[in-house]
Amino acid sequence: MTRSSAGRVVAVLGVALVALVGCSGGSSGPARAASGQVNRPTSISVFQLKPADCLDPPPDLTGEIGDIRVVPCSQPHTQEVFATVASTSSTYPGAEALATEASGSCIGAMQGPGLGLSPDDGYFVSYLLPSFDGWNKDNDRSIVCVFVFPAQGSVTGSVVEQARSGAVKPGSPPPVSAVPTTVALGDPGSTGTSG
């Protein structure tokens, strides 16, 4: 069944409440290795997201989406999926109530077994939520929990993979590397070289 009428809503905790939901195009599916890890940049359906998927959506993305750009975690990205949890509501609770539930569920998933991380250590959480249409037409109840890195911007590395391997201990900051921004030298239009 196509998810063209379904979508997800994304909220960024501590930053802003942003809606991201929409139409699922005909993506050819994720480029995943046998391990399940994304091995090349591509756009996939939000319904195919898994923990340790690194996301690189456009910074100005708002509204409804069905597909989102994923990249290998070794490449610059701004978000990383860390859990998928099911809403406990039997009927669509409304956007605000769903966001409140997602906040608690995602923080719980982050602090739970497997990750054991805390917002007190600098971890910021966001989430993709079922849209009203996705809830009612497609029975979508999944909340996709993601790490966001507002202090670092684009990063490389996987928090999930490092936490699973035991490399991240409680009290440790996010184990990702900030991607340096490019600074232009000289006048606008200058190549930055001197001759």
- Residue 26 has what pLDDT? 40
Residue 186: inside a domain, yes or no? no
The total number of structural domains in the chain stands at 1
192 lies in a domain? no
Residue 1 lies inside a defined structural domain of this protein = no
**Looking at the domain assignment, is residue 191 inside a domain?**
no
Burial class (CB in 10 A: 0-12, 13-18, 19+), 69: middle
User: Confidence class of residue 181 from pLDDT cuts 50, 70 and 90?
Assistant: low
SS3 for 77?
Answer: strand
- Within-domain flag for 190: no
pLDDT, tens digit, 9 for 90 and up, residues 105-123 = 999 999 998 898 989 888 9
Is pLDDT larger for residue 12 or for residue 77?
Answer: 77
pLDDT in tens, 70-117: 999 999 999 999 999 999 999 999 999 999 999 999 999 999 988 989
Q: Which residue range forms the structural domain that includes residue 49?
A: 8-178
10 — pLDDT class (breaks 50, 70, 90): very low
Q: Is there a domain that residue 141 lies in?
A: yes
* Distance in angstroms (rounded) separating the CA atoms of residues 152 and 144: 22
Yes or no: say if 163 and 114 are a contact pair by the CB < 8 Å rule.
Answer: yes
Contacts for 128 with CB less than 8 Å, ≥ 6 apart: 8, 9, 10, 20, 46, 49, 143, 144, 146
Q: Which helix (H) or strand (E) holds 96?
A: helix 95-111
> Do the strands 63-65 and 20-23 form a parallel or antiparallel pair, or are they unpaired?
parallel
Indicate whether 131 belongs to any domain. Answer: yes
- Yes or no: say if 71 and 78 are a contact pair by the CB < 8 Å rule: no
Residue 23: is its pLDDT beyond 60?
no
For position 81, what pLDDT does the model report?
A: 97
Q: Indicate the pTM of the whole model.
A: 0.77
Answer whether residue 24 is part of any domain.
yes
